[in-house]
């Protein structure tokens, strides 16, 4: 494995020097970076990248590294994949800085951030994404991919102020990329706006989000992470029909998309295809419940729930308890909001719902009150209270929407 990697590394160095003198045509065996969960391991990216935007030999090396990392999905295989990527990054020319060299470095760093994210090493992943931001000459699309992922990780960790400043910096780059097609203009700039729009949704600022999503409804090319964020805005503002159409479009597009040929469509970390697909599917399930439809999963448990209710026993406490276990919620002794980690909003909803179920039981009321206090302290959403989220009905004027990519309520 190491010998093969070293050979590729040398090839990358040679190709890097050649790029400065001539255009390198895409080689037939280069990997396709597809926005589809059905083409591992290159599903981390949303594009097939055509030279001369990126060193094609480096793409071979990245594909090999990702294949190696995913061969066993073990600590050892991930470490081997990371080693190959480190060698690939070190092989890039330092003789000068140009768009090809920096694009190549950026794509390698995005791949490295993905491996770190998959192992739960968020700090390492964020360091790699910041390194992309520090590059001088990459295409705007490369920086947008890094910013999008960095904002996503900040939001998942509850670092809202940090996510806002990163998103603002990305917005400032709109229009700076010199070589664009009209489609690339919209797609990349729209993603930059959607990044900030997601931040505003999490912060509960629907008016600010509305301004950022202005014009999205007029473009058929809107897809991926940006489309999901726009769909969540429509959902939160109770435009249910349009939100449903968009969620379905995202789901269908993620599954069926076979080829994206521009560098403006890269994605990473919790904005990667499988995360977007999961997010859109979960959002659509929430929407169906908000519209009064029955989710297939609920169809299976509702008969049991009705039977239990008829005997005075509720099925909900068990469901809440199982959700809390799966989410690996911190102990109640840890104050809500204190080093909470990820998925805090979802944990707060699960514990808040469980607390309500316990409080009606005289012998467990004390436990329920303690859990309720924890959930209220952990709740971070500014648009609606935890009580409003738990008591939502069809007549409510505020709709709770969980973004499964980041584990936050928007």
Using a CB cutoff of 8 Å and minimum separation of 24, what contacts does 299-307 make? none
Domain-by-domain residue ranges, the chain? 294-393
For residue 185, what pLDDT is reported?
57
Q: Beta partners for 121?
A: none
Q: What is the rounded distance in angstroms from the CA atom of residue 380 to the CA atom of residue 72?
A: 38
For residue 363, what pLDDT is reported?
93
User: How many residues would you count in the chain?
Assistant: 410
Q: Where are the beta strands (DSSP E) in 17-168?
A: none
For residue 236, what pLDDT is reported?
94
Output the CA–CA distances (angstroms, integers) from residue 16 to 61, 98, 387, in the order listed.
13, 11, 58
For residue 178, what pLDDT is reported?
47
Asked if 277 and 251 touch (Cβ cutoff 8 Å), the reply is yes
For residue 171, what pLDDT is reported?
83
Asked if 264 and 144 touch (Cβ cutoff 8 Å), the reply is yes
For residue 129, what pLDDT is reported?
97
Per-residue tokens: 373: 């206090």
Asked if 188 and 220 touch (Cβ cutoff 8 Å), the reply is no
Q: What is the rounded distance in angstroms from the CA atom of residue 334 to the CA atom of residue 336?
A: 6
In the block, residue with structure tokens 């990126």 = 54
For residue 296, what pLDDT is reported?
37
- The residues, any chain, with a CB within 8 Å of residue 31's CB and separated by 6 or more, are 42, 59, 60, 62, 63
- The residues, any chain, with a CB within 8 Å of residue 66's CB and separated by 6 or more, are 40, 41, 42, 44, 81, 111, 114, 115
For residue 146, what pLDDT is reported?
94
Phi then psi for 392, rounded to 5 degrees?
-60, 140
- Rounded average pLDDT per 10-residue block, the chain, 410 residues: 44 42 31 32 42 78 90 90 94 75 92 94 96 89 92 93 89 60 65 93 94 84 88 95 94 58 74 92 88 51 36 61 83 64 84 91 93 92 89 79 92
């Amino acid at each position: 494995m190491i010998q093969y990697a070293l050979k590729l590394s040398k090839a990358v160095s040679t190709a890097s020097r050649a790029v400065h003198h001539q255009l390198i045509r895409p080689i037939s065996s280069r990997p396709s970076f597809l926005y589809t969960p059905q083409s591992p391991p290159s599903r981390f990216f949303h594009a097939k990248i055509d030279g001369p935007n990126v060193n094609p030999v480096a793409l071979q090396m990245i594909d090999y590294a990702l294949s190696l990392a995913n061969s066993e999905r073990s600590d050892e295989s991930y470490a081997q994949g990371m080693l190959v990527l480190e060698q690939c990054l070190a092989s890039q020319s330092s003789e000068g800085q140009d768009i090809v060299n920096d694009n190549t470095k950026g794509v390698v760093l995005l791949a490295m951030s993905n491996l770190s994210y998959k192992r739960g090493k968020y700090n390492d992943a964020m360091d790699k994404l910041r390194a992309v931001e520090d590059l001088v000459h990459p295409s705007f699309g490369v920086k947008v991919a890094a910013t999008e992922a960095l904002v996503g990780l900040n939001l998942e960790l509850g670092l809202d102020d940090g996510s806002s400043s990163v998103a603002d910096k990305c917005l400032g780059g709109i229009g700076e990329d010199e070589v664009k097609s009209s489609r690339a203009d919209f797609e990349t700039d729209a993603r930059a706006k959607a990044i900030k729009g997601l931040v505003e949704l999490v912060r509960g600022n629907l008016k600010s989000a509305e301004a950022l999503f202005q014009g999205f409804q007029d473009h058929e090319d809107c897809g991926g992470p940006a489309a999901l964020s726009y769909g969540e805005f429509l959902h939160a503002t109770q435009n249910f029909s349009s939100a449903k159409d968009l969620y379905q479009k995202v789901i269908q597009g993620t599954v069926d998309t076979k080829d994206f040929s521009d560098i403006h469509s890269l994605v990473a970390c919790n904005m990667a295809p499988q995360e977007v697909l999961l997010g859109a599917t979960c959002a659509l399930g929430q929407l169906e419940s908000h519209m009064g439809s029955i989710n297939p999963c609920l169809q299976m448990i509702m008969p049991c729930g009705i039977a239990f209710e008829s005997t005075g026993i509720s099925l909900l406490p068990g469901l809440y308890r199982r959700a809390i276990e799966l989410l690996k919620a911190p102990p109640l002794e840890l104050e809500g909001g204190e080093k909470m980690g990820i998925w805090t909003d979802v944990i707060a909803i699960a514990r808040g719902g469980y607390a309500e179920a316990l409080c009606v039981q005289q012998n467990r009321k004390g436990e329920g009150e303690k859990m309720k206090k924890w959930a209220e302290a952990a709740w971070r959403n500014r648009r609606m209270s935890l009580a409003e989220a738990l008591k939502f009905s069809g007549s409510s004027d505020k709709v709770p929407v969980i973004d499964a990519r980041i584990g936050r309520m928007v």
